[in-house]
Amino acid sequence: MPTNGEIADAFTLLGDLLELDGAVRHRVLAYRRGAARVRSAPGSVAEMALAGRATDLPDIGATLQAKIVELAQTGSIAALEKARERTPEGLVRLARLEGLGPKRAMAVWTALGVTDIEGLRAAVEAGRLGEVPGMGPATVAQVTAQLADPAAGEAGAERVSLGLALPQAEDLARELRAVPGVRRVEVAGSLRRGRETVHDADIVVAADDPAAVAAALEASPLVAMSAGGGDQRRAVMTHPGLRIEVAVAPPERFGNLLQHATGSARHNVRLRELALRRGLSMSEHGLTAGDGTVTVHADEAEVYAALGLAWIPPELREDRDELAVAAEGRVPRLVERADILGEIHVHSDWSDGRVDMATMAAAARDRGYRYIGIADHSQSLAMTRGLTPDRVKRQWEAIDALNAQIEGITVLKCTEVDILADGRLDFDDDLLAGFDLVVASLHSGLRATGAEGTARVLAAVEHPHVDAIGHPRGRMMGRRDGLQLDIEAIAERAAATGTLLEINGQPRRLDLDSDLARTALAAGARLLLSSDAHGPEDLWFLDLALRVARRAGAGPEDIANTRPPADWRA
């Protein structure tokens, strides 16, 4: 049975090949919309299609459903194979290079016979790219620069974690707020929507004089180089290599610009379609009526209100069902930073943390937490100085002493106990019973494929002493995707046993991700937010986990951290 990801990949490729072949634009877009819809669907779309129910999903019609059935039953799609014969697949990567696109990629093929990246490299080295009609020196230089990267044109190349991009964007936003004449500055785009990875950052600025903003960018110590732009938008590159787009509008239409720049693109398309049905043309410049009068909005909520919609949290603007929900005024109350009372998965220098428990507890108190759970590693994880049972008991004594001395916060005796290869835990039950709370995590066998990962996680979920599963999938961005978990099965058992599933806020983990978390919530499970901090400066990673939870649609009642642990079982 093909996974949603495999179906989505097939549709994406088919759309790309059709686009190169010059197919009608909206047919191409239909495949891309279908791919996105399948990819984010909570259950198996192949099973739905075999039951004739995939057409219940928006953007999936009879034709796409038939192709999903074909893929499930034969392992391939005839239309995709035909498209591959007609158009070399390597051109897809060419078309992804900046400055190229489907038209120019095809022109390169026609003029030079180049069908893949390697062929393009050879053509560039031979100085022949400029022979292609429509390719001037600027485009040749742009393409040549990208070819130095071995991953040039690969899908998803150069996506960076939310946790690495967000601080850079916020630092620049803070600088811009101090510029004379600047009234408001917000981080927008996929960062504002809380996407786990982004390929650039967007900042919007309310100011009457765009030139002052441009000058400030030019002078900023955070900026390595300017990356072009005009009066309304400028792009810069930070020293770590993040591209940040800065858009400027006068304060009276800041709401229109913020809404536009936040996206998602699909959400905005739906919004503009809705506007058209009401006789309004919508853009970042405002709402234009049929007689040409333009209405502008200083605040974003006014834009939605002008279309008869309640304001929609940015994390939900992904073209699921949010417009219908907002039209009915049923927008959910998502979990917020102020709801968070504490967390139970941070480390100390008893294992691989950088500071002692008292320092961590004081830092947690400074964030307004009422409790903090020290969850150091268990004995099997030797490289982290995992605790033996003897050291666990000494740590408990130290925590008792700390609680007697520290004020304003309660320190909890927790552990991040390893789930061993056979699904058993790294401590025996007697010892586990002595902890306030037990987080069980996988740290080995994370490249396994198939069902064994699910079985190990399920064994831990069923364990009577386990309160939460840490970073369930075990992904590490840029290194491994982690396990292919049957998250529905896990979440159902987690709901039945009262076991929490963690959203780990480490920038390279963000695990569960928002799609898995959304599915887990639908199956009735509750979530635990963790920074997995190894020092005080990591505690803000919890804010990243919070964004992921909001993207999953989680409200305060879905998140354990909004309550004291004493309430969790109830």
Partner DNA sequence: GCCGTTTTCGGCCCGACTGTTTTCAGTCG
Task: Please name the residues in contact with 20: beta carbons below 8 A apart, sequence gap of 6 or more.
Answer: 87, 91, 92, 95, 102, 105, 106
Beta pairing partners, 238: 223
Q: Which is nearer to DNA, 282 or 461 (CB)?
A: 282
Other C-beta atoms closer than 10 Å to the C-beta of 277 total 9
Q: Which is nearer to DNA, 139 or 454 (CB)?
A: 139
Q: How far is the CB of 210 from DNA (least distance, A)?
A: 9
Whole-angstrom distance between the N-terminal and C-terminal Cα of the chain?
A: 39
Nearest to residue 11, comparing CAs of 43, 48, 45? 45
Q: How far is the CB of 410 from DNA (least distance, A)?
A: 45
Q: Which is nearer to DNA, 254 or 369 (CB)?
A: 254
Which DSSP string do the residues of 192-248 spell out, in sequence order?
Answer: HTT-SEESSEEEEEEES-HHHHHHHHHH-TTEEEEEEE-SSEEEEEETTS-EEEEEE
Q: Which is nearer to DNA, 293 or 405 (CB)?
A: 293
Q: Which is nearer to DNA, 245 or 426 (CB)?
A: 245
Q: How far is the CB of 417 from DNA (least distance, A)?
A: 44
Q: How far is the CB of 117 from DNA (least distance, A)?
A: 15
**In what helix (H) or strand (E) does residue 188 lie, and over which residues does it extend?**
strand 182-188
Q: What secondary structure letter does DSSP report for 350? A: T
Q: Which is nearer to DNA, 243 or 354 (CB)?
A: 243
Output Rg (C-alpha) for the chain, integer angstroms: 26
Q: Which is nearer to DNA, 33 or 471 (CB)?
A: 33
Handedness of CA 323, 328, 334, 336 (dihedral sign): positive
Q: Which is nearer to DNA, 144 or 403 (CB)?
A: 144
Q: How far is the CB of 123 from DNA (least distance, A)?
A: 15
Q: How far is the CB of 19 from DNA (least distance, A)?
A: 9
Q: Which residues bind DNA (CB under 7 A)?
A: 24, 26-27, 29-31, 33-34, 55, 58-65, 79, 95, 97-105, 133-140, 142, 189, 200, 202, 228-233, 245, 265, 268-269, 272-273, 275-277, 281-285, 288
Q: How far is the CB of 178 from DNA (least distance, A)?
A: 23
Q: Which is nearer to DNA, 327 or 406 (CB)?
A: 327
- Inter-CA distances, 474 with 157, 347, 468, 469, 485, Å: 21, 18, 14, 11, 10
Degrees, nearest 5: CA angle 5-11-12: 85
Q: How far is the CB of 276 from DNA (least distance, A)?
A: 5
Degrees, nearest 5: CA angle 5-265-193: 80
Q: How far is the CB of 25 from DNA (least distance, A)?
A: 8
CA distance 482 to 448: 8
- What residue has token string 């079982």? 569
